[in-house]
Amino acid sequence: MTTFSIGETDFLLDGKPHQVISGTLHYFRIHPEHWADRIRTAKAMGLNTIETYVAWNAHEPVRGEWDATGWNDLGRFLDLIAEEGLHAIVRPGPYICAEWHNGGLPVWLTSTPGIGIRRSEPQFIKAVSEYLRRVYEIVAPRQIDRGGNVVLVQIENEYGAYGSDKDYLRELVRVTKDAGITVPLTTVDQPMPWMLEAGSLPELHLTGSFGSRSEDRLATLREHQSTGPLMCSEFWDGWFDWWGSIHHTTDPAASAHDLDVLLAAGASVNIYMVHGGTNFGTTNGANDKGRYDPIVTSYDYDAPIDESGHPTAKFHAFREVIAKYAPVPDLVPEPRPDAPVFEVALSGEGEWMPAATGPVSPAPATFEQLAHLGPLVRYDVDLPAFSGPAAVVFDEVRDLAWVHVDGTPVGRLSRALHERALTIPAGSRLTVLVEDQGRVNYADRLGEAKGLIGAVTLNGEPLTGWTASPIDLDTVEGAGTGSIGRAFLRGSFDLDAPADLFLDTTGWGKGFAFVNGFFLGRYWNTVPQNTLYVPGPATRAGANEIVVLELEHAVEPVARFVAAPSLGQLEE
């Protein structure tokens, strides 16, 4: 039996000192047919371990409907890691942050009346315990002391930045151990004294999350944990992007230097991210620290392995550093080849927003009240008679709303810009299309409601009698012809063989794109992201179809596929 344990100064693999050199891959951000390739490429950089979060809301978006197959086949992912001779670290949360919608917590959970998020509140504990038991059914038999490859399991995630409920942490530990987890248990926090103290328990091994000043951070960790291995379990080697900002990058040489300092100190490390992947569909999260900032579709993260799975300058810089401390494979992956370049004419199939169908209620229903997990809801209300322009005021819009009077667009309201009022002309019917742009994944706004929140007034008087109609993107169709304004656009193209593609979205406004029914994600003609990654397994030899659901107006009804990704302007 192989053993993995915590020694006086090191991790011990079969009783001998062992330095963990790990990198993060999120199985839920990578097409399953690419899992093996990404693991193999990470191994080529010199890693001996792969780490992943577990996204609860990917496995159980609807309460009681647990899924661990296909994209959610955590067991297969761990087995593929083992086949490459690598160890695995599992971080099941339940909260993961990760710039992933709702921080990984299911909407049905966070919208439960009276629930206490991330604390020892009975409803939350009951649901989390059931979730963890399901995860550990997959993880427990794959632990290293049972012939598998899992060497560490993390309890919660950066909890010291959020709370200090020790009873909650103790309950997570109890459930974990009762489920048969015998490998060492860890916590992670930024190396600030109050976070380290609040976010762990004496029996859990502290690790840090940071991306610079490695020597100082390790010293802080050691002050709070006098024995055991030092570990940075989130070495931030890049950063994420949000709509309306730049494309964030870090200098490969500077990141490599900080990695060198860590490894030279004998510390273990998990590189976050070694390969970021993609927020396919509408899985992106958001941050709100006074301004709402939804995360873009790409999760490239400026990682050593780029969004389409190829090595970057940072990959080679890290590989050179790792080679000083551990053996690295001789095989070096090839750089990214140019993707096929071509254009596809898109036929305009007209307006695609479905008619109002929902029941009438006094106030607008939220997405949660509708049990709707999609990004769009249509709201309608009859207007009272009034003459001349009038002010319509919303308590709050979450997150972006297109306002129409008698079918004619009259304006847009953005949560990010704190907009909640506009002037409308006289008419008989007010229609508001609302987009959930991404659920906040950090701090106290976890689980907040989406849609039109609170009251809506016209010239100070409440508007009542609303219908709220959820829109299922999988079933919408064009209702005529034309590509002007909000429109359903479709085109077809042939490929000699399946291939990674990069779809240029700069000629369009805002919306969603699909290839062969595969939901690529959101696009927007604001900065920074200009292309969407199309994974090769979503394409096929022969005929392929692209569908674009445009929310505003596509300047050019053409789909352009380009040779390389364009993720936006860098900070100068």
Catalytic positions, written as ranges = 158, 234
Encoding tokens for residue 72? 């959610």
- DSSP helix/strand/coil, 43: helix
- What residues form DSSP beta bridges with 518? 515
Q: At what angle do helices 313-322 and 252-264 cross, to 10 degrees?
A: 20
Q: What are the tokens at 341?
A: 């370049």
SS3 of 227, please?
coil
470: closest CA among 396, 370, 362, 382?
370
Distance (Å) of CA 554 to CA 343, 484, 500, 532: 15, 7, 24, 16
Return the residue matching tokens 């959930």: 436
Cα distances (angstroms) measured from residue 452 to each of 5, 267, 377, 410, 434: 52, 49, 9, 17, 7
Q: Distance between CA 401 and CA 25 in Å, rounded?
A: 35
Sheet strands (E) in 475-541: 487-495, 501-504, 510-515, 518-524, 531-534
In the numeric block, the tokens 């940071």 are attached to 210
Distant-in-sequence contacts of 351-354, Cβ < 8 A, 24+ apart? 351/478, 351/479, 351/480, 351/485, 351/486, 351/487, 351/488, 352/476, 352/477, 352/478, 352/479, 352/486, 352/487, 352/488, 352/549, 353/378, 353/433, 353/471, 353/476, 353/486, 354/378, 354/469, 354/471, 354/476
Name the H helices within 179-294: 193-198, 214-224, 252-264
- Exposure letters 45-83 (e unless 16+ CB within 10 A, then b): bbbbbbbbbbbbbbbbeeeeeeebeebbbbebbbebbbe
In 3D space, the residue among 530, 529, 535 whose CA is nearest the CA of residue 516 turns out to be 535
What phi, psi does 197 have (nearest 5°)?
Answer: -75, -40
Which residue stretches of 205-359 are H helix? 214-224, 252-264, 313-322
What would the two tokens of residue 536 be? 């090769």
The answer to whether the beta carbons of residues 520 and 501 sit under 8 Å apart is: no
56 residue type, one letter: W
Residues 6+ apart with CB under 8 A from 101: 57, 282, 283, 284, 285, 286, 438, 439, 441
- 41 within 8 A of 275, measured Cβ to Cβ: yes
The Cα 404–Cα 418 span in angstroms is 19
Q: Which amino acid is at 92?
A: P
Structure-block tokens of residue 147: 């012939």
